[in-house]
């Protein structure tokens, strides 16, 4: 699936991932390929990217967890998923 993480300052990430977990208002949830369309508010927590397919060094923008797994701390935001494209608008 294609993931884009955007903040008011810049686009932090755009590329292919296997899955992404986000901190929803009623608990964290995970988005995988072919997920049903969804729009949700996000609360403070971590956006977790798994299976990142990028040759770039992302460690200056995202916290590296393990190989191909990264995390980004957010204070709030929204997420939209439709047709294997996920957009996270984060503060």
User: Are β-strands 27-32 and 85-90 bridged in parallel, bridged antiparallel, or unpaired?
Assistant: unpaired
Write out the two tokens for 43.
């609360």
Architecture of the domain made up of 2-90: Sandwich (2.60)
The domain segmentation of the chain, as residue ranges, is 2-90
What does the pLDDT look like over 39-78, one tens digit per residue? 999 999 999 999 997 767 677 778 888 888 899 999 999 9
User: With a threshold of 0.75, does the pTM exceed it?
Assistant: yes
**Spatial CA neighbour of 20 closest among 58, 68, 91, 75:** 68
Average predicted confidence (pLDDT) for the chain:
92
Write out the two tokens for 90.
């984060």
The pLDDT of residue 17: 95
């Amino acid at each position: 699936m294609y993931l884009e993480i955007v903040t008011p300052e810049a686009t932090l990430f755009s590329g292919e991932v296997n899955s992404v977990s986000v901190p929803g208002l009623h608990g964290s949830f995970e988005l995988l390929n072919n997920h049903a369309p969804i729009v949700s508010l996000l609360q403070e927590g971590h956006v977790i990217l798994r299976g990142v397919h990028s040759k770039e060094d992302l460690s200056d923008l995202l916290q590296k967890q393990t190989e191909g797994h990264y995390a980004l701390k957010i204070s709030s935001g929204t997420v939209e998923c439709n047709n294997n494209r996920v957009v996270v608008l984060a503060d």
